[in-house]
Amino acid sequence: MDAFPLALDGYLAADPEPGDREGTASWRLTCSAGTDLLVEEAVIPCTTMEPDIAHAMLTERQPGDLLRVIGHLTLPDTADGVIRLHADTLEVLWEAPTLDADADVDGDDTDTATATDADRTSAIAALAEALTGFGQAAPGPGQSIRIHISPTGSLGSGEHCHSFDVSPAMAHRLADYVDAMNCYLDSERPDSVALDPETIADLAELFEDIDLIGLTNAVLNATRPEHRAAVTQAMDDMFGDVPAPEETDP
């Protein structure tokens, strides 16, 4: 197996590994083309039997360090063999910055968890304050209903745990308010506004009684012929599918 003296500059591709014998180590060096033996970028396996170099590689170096390895490059005798650079001298040209990845991840997780806990605590406090008004109202007939709110997994007594006793009438009112909130899309729900359930029922009945065909005929009959197409389109946008002008009474 032929050996050629060679000096290679490259970046440490991965953590070095101890060799089969004490005082030895192996690693891989990512090198750019810069010698007659390297036409393009390549990852060169390196080994050393120098105890000082092996100790430095195993204890001081990290992936990303720019190293200059001086030694002898051995070429394989067979096509399926592996070239290897046996290091006699090692120089550190540049040290990659040390990143405490675990600390960064833990810090981000802690910040996220803290923000989430604070938001949950604030929401519980706001809901507890609102439900307190129901609990303090004059009791109605029938047995009371107890409502518990607390963080998940903390049902009972403890910090941020609240219990309220409300009458059945108050419970019905609370259910009506929730139903009223659900009548809006999330993007259309006004802040701090809840329609009275009777108002919602009246509006629903009003729209159910509208005769869209009769309304369309009345509007189009009162519209000049040249404007009917635009009016029909406007009504279609508002109410959905409406009869075309030619389908209405003249």
Whether pLDDT at 165 is above 80? no
Domain assignment present for residue 181? The answer is yes
pLDDT at 16 over 90: yes
Domain region containing 148: 102-198
38: which DSSP letter? B
What is the per-residue pLDDT across 210-240, written as a single tens digit (0 to 9) for each? 777 777 778 888 888 888 788 877 777 766 6
Q: Could you report the per-residue pLDDT of 135-148, keeping only the tens digit for each?
A: 555 555 566 777 77
- Residue that terminates a domain, selected from 94, 120, 145: 94
| Residue at which a domain ends, from 63, 94, 125 | 94
Q: Is residue 204 part of a domain?
A: no
Radius of gyration in angstroms for the set of CA atoms belonging to the chain, rounded to a whole number: 39
Q: Tell me: the pLDDT tens digits for 60-74?
A: 999 989 999 999 999
Report the alpha-carbon distance of residue 217 to residue 237 in Å, rounded: 16
d(CA 145, CA 124): 19
Residues 24 and 61 in one domain: yes
pLDDT band at 1 (very low <50, low <70, confident <90, very high): low
- Which of 68, 94, 120 is at the close of a domain? 94
Whether pLDDT at 37 is above 80: no
- Cβ-based burial of 54 (10 A; exposed 0-12, middle 13-18, buried ≥19): buried
CATH for 43: 2.40.50.140
What lies within 8 Å, CB to CB, of 91 at 6+ separation is 67, 68, 70
Q: 108 lies in a domain?
A: yes
| Stretch 183-202: mean pLDDT | 60
Indicate if 191 and 113 belong to the same structural domain.
yes
Indicate whether 47 and 90 sit together in one domain: yes
Same domain membership, residue 194 and residue 129: yes
pLDDT of residue 134: 60
Above 90 in pLDDT, residue 243? no
CA atoms in the 13 A half-sphere facing the CB of 81: 10
Q: Model's pTM, two decimal places?
A: 0.40
Q: Tell me what percent of the residues of the chain surpass a pLDDT of 90.
A: 21
Same domain, 78 and 31: yes
